[in-house]
Amino acid sequence: MSMLSTFALAAGLVGFVASALHAQTAKPQAAAPDVTPGSITCEECPYPYPSSYLPLTLYGQDVRMAFMDVAPQGTANGHTVMIFHGHNFAGFYFGTIIDALRKVGFRVVVVDQIGYGRSSKPIIPYNLNDMARNSHAILQSLKIERAMIIGHSMGGMVAARFASLYPKVAERVLIYNPIGLSDTRHGRAPGSVDAAYKTALGATYQSVKAGLMRYVAHDPSAWNDEFEKYARIRYAWTLGADWPRLAMVQSLTGSVIQSDPVVYDWAHIQAPTLAFGGAEDILPGTVTLFQDRMKVLADTVPNKNGRLHLIPGLGHVPHLEDPAKTIPPMVAFLREGLN
C-alpha cells in the first residue's frame, strides 16, 4: 500500500468514526450492577507494576505507548524478556509470569500495544508490522539490544512477526497459545469492520463473559476469580462515555487477526523457539486442529530450532488456570538461553 493510500485509509477511518461516535447513544444493559464505568485507557485496571510511556507519532497522530519495565529481583542474569499480550487483554494479566521471571534474574518489559490497555486509542489502520516496530522502539528507548520474547494469543502472532523482522534482537521466542495458526483468508469473505463495530456497541456483561468463556470451553469449571476479574474490566469499558471509540479500535485491531497471517513468518525465525501452551485450546475450531498446527509451527522453524510443549488439561490462558503447571516450563525454556 502506498503512503498516500495509507493516509487516505486513515483519514477515511477518522471520518467514519467521527460520525459514528455522535450517532451512537445506546448503552449496554447493566447486567452486573456492581461494575462501574471504566476508562478506555485502563487507569483503574489492576496492573502489577507501574507503567511508563513512550511517545510515538503514527499516521500523523501523536500517541503514547505504555509498558512496564520491571527490574530483576536479586542478582540480575543480564537478560531481558519482552512480553506481548493477547487481543482481549493488555499487559495487566501477566503478574505471575513477571514475578517468576524476575525471581531468576530477568529484567521484564511488558508492552501495551497501541490500541490496548494504557496506550493511546487512535483510529488508524492497525497491523502487526507496526506492533512489532513499536515494541522494538521501546527496547531502543531502554537501550536494550537483545531480548527473549513471549507472545500470548494475538501476542503470539506479534512475537512471530517481531522475531522475523528483528532476528538479531530476538534471542529466544516462546509462542504461547497463539491464534493465527492458519491462513484463513481464502475461500471466505473478510469480515466487515463496520459490522463488527455495530456488534461491539451492543456489548452486555453476558456477551463479554461469553467471549472469555471460550478460553475454558474444555472445562467451564476452570473459570475462576482471575477470569472473572478481566471480564469485569472489559465490561466496565462498555459503560464509559468513550466506549464508542474503543469499540471501533477493537473492531480495527480484530480485523488484523484474519488479514495479516504470520504462518509464513515461522520459516524466518532464527532464534530457538518453543510452541507452548494448554493442549485443550479450541480457538482454531477444534482441539485437534490446534495441536496439529502447533506441531506445524514447531516443525517449520528452521535448523531444528523449533520445539513443542503442550500441557494436557489446560486451555487458551493456562497461567490463569494453573500457574503451577504453566510457568515453570516457560521459565526453564528461557533459562536455557543463559548458558
Domains assigned to the chain: 46-191+261-338 (3.40.50.1820)
Statement: residue 4 has pLDDT above 80: no
Mean of pLDDT values over 216-224: 97
Q: Mean pLDDT, the chain, as a whole number? A: 91
Q: State how far the Cα of 35 lies from the Cα of 20, in Å rounded to an integer.
A: 26
222 three-state secondary structure:
helix
Statement: residue 332 has pLDDT above 90: yes
Statement: residue 15 has pLDDT above 70: no
Tell me the percentage of the chain whose pLDDT exceeds 70.
Answer: 90
Answer yes or no: are the C-beta atoms of 276 and 174 closer than 8 Å: yes
Chain segment 78-124, per-residue pLDDT in tens: 999 999 999 999 999 999 999 999 999 999 999 999 999 999 999 99
- Overall pTM surpassing 0.95 (yes/no): no
Q: 143's torsion region: left (phi>0), alpha (psi -120 to 50) or beta?
A: left
4 three-state secondary structure:
helix
Looking at residue 188, what is its pLDDT? Answer: 81
Q: State how far the Cα of 173 lies from the Cα of 7, in Å rounded to an integer.
A: 33
Statement: residue 31 has pLDDT above 70: no
Q: Are strands 80-84 and 107-111 parallel, antiparallel or unpaired?
A: parallel
- SS3 of the chain: helix, strand, coil, percent, to 5: 45, 15, 40
Looking at residue 193, what is its pLDDT? Answer: 93
Q: Which helix (H) or strand (E) holds 226?
A: helix 225-239
Answer yes or no: are the C-beta atoms of 107 and 71 closer than 8 Å: yes
Residues 6 or more apart from 84 whose CB is under 8 A from it? 111, 113, 131, 135, 149, 150, 151, 152, 154, 155, 156, 158, 159, 162
Looking at residue 104, what is its pLDDT? Answer: 98
Mean of pLDDT values over 144-154: 98
For residues 39-58, one letter each, b for 16 or more C-beta atoms within 10 angstroms of the residue's C-beta and e for the rest, the string is ebbbeebebbbebbebebeb
Strand order in the sheet with 306-311: 52-58, 61-70, 107-111, 80-84, 147-152, 170-176, 273-278, 306-311
Mean of pLDDT values over 47-51: 98
Chain segment 229-267, per-residue pLDDT in tens: 999 999 999 999 999 999 999 999 999 988 889 999 999
Statement: residue 23 has pLDDT above 90: no
Mean of pLDDT values over 135-151: 98
What value does the CA radius of gyration of the chain take, rounded to a whole number of Å?
A: 19
Mean of pLDDT values over 196-201: 95
Mean of pLDDT values over 11-31: 43
Residue for cell digits 497471517? 261
Q: Which three cell numbers stand for residue 327?
A: 510457568
Looking at residue 171, what is its pLDDT? Answer: 98
Looking at residue 49, what is its pLDDT? Answer: 98
Q: How confident is the model at residue 21 (pLDDT cuts 50, 70, 90)?
A: very low
Looking at residue 32, what is its pLDDT? Answer: 63
Answer yes or no: are the C-beta atoms of 163 and 196 closer than 8 Å: no
CA within 13 Å, CB half, 74: 9
Chain segment 257-313, per-residue pLDDT in tens: 888 899 999 999 999 999 999 999 999 999 999 999 999 999 999 999 999 999 999
CA 310 to chain centre: 20
Q: State how far the Cα of 93 lies from the Cα of 102, in Å rounded to an integer.
A: 16
Q: How confident is the model at residue 33 (pLDDT cuts 50, 70, 90)?
A: low
Q: What are the DSSP calls for 131-193, one per residue?
A: HHHHHHHHHHHTT---EEEEEETHHHHHHHHHHHH-TTTEEEEEEES-S--S---TTSPPPPH
Statement: residue 28 has pLDDT above 90: no
Statement: residue 30 has pLDDT above 50: no
